[in-house]
Structure 1
Amino acid sequence: MSQYGTQYLPRMGAGPSVVIAGGGTAGHIEPALAFADAVMRLRPDARVTALGTEKGLDQRLIPARGYPLELIPPVPLPRKPSADLLRLPGKVRGAVARVREVLTKVDADVVVGFGGYVALPAYLGARRRVPIVVHEANARAGLANKVGARFAARVVAAVPGSGLAHAQILGIPLRHSVTTLDRGALRVEARARFGLPADGPVLLVFGGSQGARSLNTALAAALPGLVHEGIGVLHAHGPGNTPAGSDVSGSAEAPGASGYVGLPYIDDMHLAYAAADAVLCRAGAMTVAEVSAVGLPALYVPLPIGNGEQALNARPVVDAGGGLLVADTALTGDVVLAELVPLLKDPEQLAAMGRAARASGHADADERLAEVVFGVIRK
C-alpha cells in the first residue's frame, strides 16, 4: 500500500494529472502558473488543473493563461494556529470535501501548493489520497504551508530560512517571458511601446497591482530632480492614484515629453523591464525574483507589515551587491535622488549591480520544480 493510502494509484499510459493550489493574490498565482507552464513544456501530454475561489484574482488570471479553474469555498486563514483550525470548522470541511471531488474528477496524480487560502484545504483534501509538494515563496512560511509541509512528499522554498524543515532551495518559478528576456534586444521596442525617450537612463517604479502610496509620494517629490538629470521614469502608480508627473509630464498628446510616463497598471512587465535600467519597488517575493532574474539593480522598499518577510526577501540580493534596501519610513524624495541618480548616471556600476542581481536568482526554478514533482509522481 502506498504511504498516501489505498486511494492513490498512479495512472498508467497517460501524462500526469497535476493540481495546483495557489490562488488569491498574484504572489501566489503567478508562481503556480509559471510552474504549470514548465510542466506543459516538459510534458505536453500532462493535464494541469487549478484550484481557486471567487475571491481574489483567480478568475481573472488563471483562465486567461489557458488552465481550467475549479472553484472551492474560500477559507479565511488565521495568522497563527488556533483551536478553530484544529477543529476544522464548517467552512474548512466544506472546502476539503470540494477539493476531494476535484481530485477524483481529474484523476489527480499530485497536488502542488503555493500557499494562501486555497492551499490549506487543498493539502487537507489531498492528505493520504494524493502526494503533496509544497512550495514556499516567501522568506518566512505562512500558515497553510506550515500545515502542508507536515505531511508533504517534498518541500521546496525560494530562499533559506523559511521555517520549513528539510526544504530544498529552488527559487521561485517565473514566467518564461521573464527568465528568457533579452533586455538589450528589446530596449528600443520597449521604450517606443511606452513612449519613453530612446536614449538616457530610465527608472521603473511600481508597488504592486494597487500601487504603493509611499513610493508614489517619494517619486512625486523626486521627479523634478530626476527630470533635471535627464532620467526617464516609467511609473505604475496604481488604479485611482494620481500620476507623479502631473506637473511635469507634458501634454496629454505627448505624455513622455518630459521623460515621465505614468500608468495605472503595466500589463507587459517584460517590456517594462527591457525599457528600464534600475527599479524602485517593494520587496515581495515575486518582485525580488523577477527583478533579479532580468538583471536589474533595484532600490527595494519593503512593505512595513507582517513579520518582516519582505526585507528578508530582498536581503540575499542586497547582500550579493544587486540592490539597495531602504525602510518605508525612511523613503523620501531626497533619498530617491541620493541613492538612484548616481547609480543611473554610472553605466559601469549599473552593469556590475545587474550582474550581481542576476547571479543571486534562480531563473530555472520553474523547470527544476517540475522535475521534483515528476519525481514524486514516479516514486
Structure 2
Amino acid sequence: MRVVLTGGGTGGHIYPALAIGREVTAREPGSSLLYIGTSRGLEGRIVPQQGIAFEDITITGFRRSLSWDNVRTVMRFVQGVRRSKQLLRKFKPDVVVGTGGYVCGPVVYAASRLGIPTLIHEQNVIPGLTNKFLSRYAQGVAVSFAESVPYFSRCPDVVHAGNPCATTVLSADRNKGFASLGLLPETPFVLVAGGSGGAKALNEAMTEMMPLLPKLADTHFVFVTGERFYEETETRIRKLMPAAANRVQVLPYIHNMPEVLAAASLFIGRAGASFLAEITALGIPSVLIPSPNVTNNHQEANARSLADAGAAVMILERDLTGSLLFSHISAIMGNIAHRRSMALASRKLGMPEAASTIYDQIVRLSRKS
C-alpha cells in the first residue's frame, strides 16, 4: 500500500500520523509512506528522524480576525494545492491521511480533486478549523471521542476509532520505566508533566505544594518541568524542601515517556488528546489541568470527557493552587480503592486497538477507489 500522511504544527497532530504509518507498515510490510508537511513545523524535524520520506509545502494558518495575512494565506493555500498535486501525481498514493493542522488543508483538498481516497483523523472532542473544512471533501473521518461524531454528519464514513497513539504506548515496558527512574518495580509514583515544553501554572502549583508532602507518606513524585523552566523550578523546590530529594525527582524532560507513563500510578498534567489516549489505554487515573491557551478551548472538553466518566479530576487553570492540587492527589493516592475505581473507568475509555481500526478504515476507503 502507498500512503501519504500529512499533519503538523504540534506533536498532537504529528504523532498520531506516525502511529498510523507504523500500523500500515506492520500490517503490510511492503508499504511505502510519504509525509507532506512544512519545513518550519515540528514535523520537518521529527518525521525524517523516523526514516519516513518527507516533502514540504509552504502554508500558514488563518487568523481569526480580519487581516491582510489571510489574503496571503489564501494565496499560499492555492500554491500549496498546486505543489501537493505535483507530489501526489508523482507518488501515486492509494490513500491520503490527514491528522490536523493547517498543512493538511491543501494536501487533503488536492487529493480529493485528484480522486484519491482521503481520511482525516480528529484527536480532540471539538474539531479543529482545518478538519471541519476538510470534512466536506474527505471520504472518511476517524474520531478519538464519541462526542465528535455529530460534527462530521456530512461525511459518509465516520468511525469512532480512538487515537492511534494509544496503540503505540501498549508496547512500552513499564519495568524499564521504573529502572530509568532508579525506582524499585511497583513503587507508587505520581507523574507530573505539563507537556513537552512544560506548563508554568502547573510548575507554580507543584512548587507551592511541596511543604505539604510530609502529609503524604510513601509516594514518590516524578516532576517534569520542561527545559525552559527546569533550573528555576528545581532550585526553588530544593530550597523549600531539601529533605524531599529522595521523594521528588525534578527533570527537565523525559525521553522514554511511554515507559515511564506505563509505570505511573497517577498522572497530573494537561489534557492533550494524545496523552489522554495513552493514559486511558493504560488505565491510569489522572488530575487534568487543561490549557486555556488552545483553539476552541478543546483541552477543557477533552478533560471533561474523562472527568464525567470518573476516570479523572479536572481543575481549571484559574482555580489551580498548590493546596487544591495536593488535596486531589492525596485523596487518590491515599485511597487504593478510589484509585482502582478511577483506573478501571480510565481503562474503559481506552481504545488500544485504535491504529488497527483506522488501518481497516483506510483499506476500506482505498478499495472503493
Q: Same fold (TM over 0.5)?
A: yes
**Cα distance, 1:319 vs. partner?**
1.8
- Residues 146-168 of structure 1 deviation map (CA, whole Å, 9 limit, x = unaligned): 11110111122111333222532
Distance of 1:108 and 1:199 partners within structure 2: 46
Match of 1:75 in 2: 60
Cα gap change, 1:42/1:199 in structure 2, threshold over 3 Å: closer, same or farther? closer
Tell me the residue number matched to 1:128. 113
Map 1:1-379 onto structure 2 (within 5 A).
16-79=1-64, 89-129=74-114, 130-162=116-148, 163-165=151-153, 166=155, 167-174=158-165, 176-181=167-172, 183=174, 186=175, 189-196=176-183, 200-226=187-213, 228-230=215-217, 231-242=219-230, 244-247=233-236, 249=238, 257-305=245-293, 306-379=295-368
Q: Secondary structure at the match of 1:37?
A: helix
Q: Output the TM-score relative to the length of structure 2.
A: 0.89
Q: Secondary structure at the match of 1:338?
A: helix
The percentage of counterpart residues that share the same residue type is 32
Task: Give the Å deviation of 1:195.
Answer: 3.1
SS at structure 1 position matched to 2:292: coil
Cα distance in 2 for partners of 1:81, 1:371 equals 42
- Which amino acid counterpart does residue 325 of structure 2 have in structure 1? V
3-state DSSP of counterpart to 1:135: strand
What TM-score do the two structures reach when normalised by structure 1? Answer: 0.87
Distance 1:89 1:356 in 2: 45
1:191, CA displacement in angstroms?
Answer: 2.4
Unaligned runs of 5+ in 1: 1-15
CA distance in 2 between partners of 1:278 and 1:363 (Å): 19
Q: Secondary structure at the match of 1:69?
A: strand
1:359 Cα offset (Å): 0.9
Indicate if the aligned counterparts of 2:167 and 2:354 stay in contact, CA closer than 8 A.
no
Runs of 4+ in structure 1 over 6 Å off: 80-88
Post-superposition Cα deviations, 1:245-270, rounded to whole Å, max 9, x if no partner, equal: 435559xxx99842111222111111
Asked whether the equivalents of residues 52 and 70 of structure 1 are also in contact (C-alpha less than 8 Å), the reply is yes
- 1:258 maps to a residue whose letter is N
- CA distance in 1 between counterparts of 2:333 and 2:188 reads 6
**232-241 vs 72-81, which moves further:** 72-81
Residues 172, 46 of structure 1: alpha-carbon distance in 2 compared, 3 angstrom cutoff: same
CA shift for structure 1 position 282: 0.6
Distance of aligned partners of 1:82 and 1:137 in 2 relative to their CA distance in 1, 3 Å threshold: farther
How far apart in 2 are the matches of 1:207 and 1:51?
28
Say whether the 8 Å CA contact 1:300–1:314 is kept in structure 2.
Answer: yes
User: Which structure features the higher share of helix residues?
Assistant: 2
Shift of 1:346: 2.1
* Residue 242 of structure 1, CA deviation: 3.3
Please give the secondary structure, in 1, of the residue aligned with 2:192. Answer: strand
Asked if the contact 1:75–1:95 (Cα under 8 Å) also holds between the matched residues in 2, the reply is no
Q: Is the 8 A contact 2:177 2:256 kept in 1?
A: no
Deviation, structure 1 residue 190: 2.1
175 and 198 in structure 1: CA distance in 2 versus 1, 3 angstrom threshold: closer
Structure 2 unaligned runs (5+)? none
Give the whole-Å Cα distance in 2 for the aligned partners of 1:197 and 1:367.
34
**Contact preservation (8 Å) 1:138, 1:158:** yes
Would you say the 8 A contact 2:59–2:73 is kept in 1?
Answer: no
RMSD: 2.6
SS in 2 for 1:308: helix
Q: Secondary structure at the match of 1:367?
A: helix
Question: How many aligned residue pairs are there?
Answer: 357
Q: 2:170 & 2:69 partners in 1: Cα distance?
A: 42
Give deviations 1:309-343, integer Å, cap 9, x for gaps.
Answer: 11111223222211111111111100111111121
Give the 3 Å change call, closer, same or farther, for CA 193–255 of structure 1 in structure 2: farther
Distance 2:220 2:234 in 1: 11
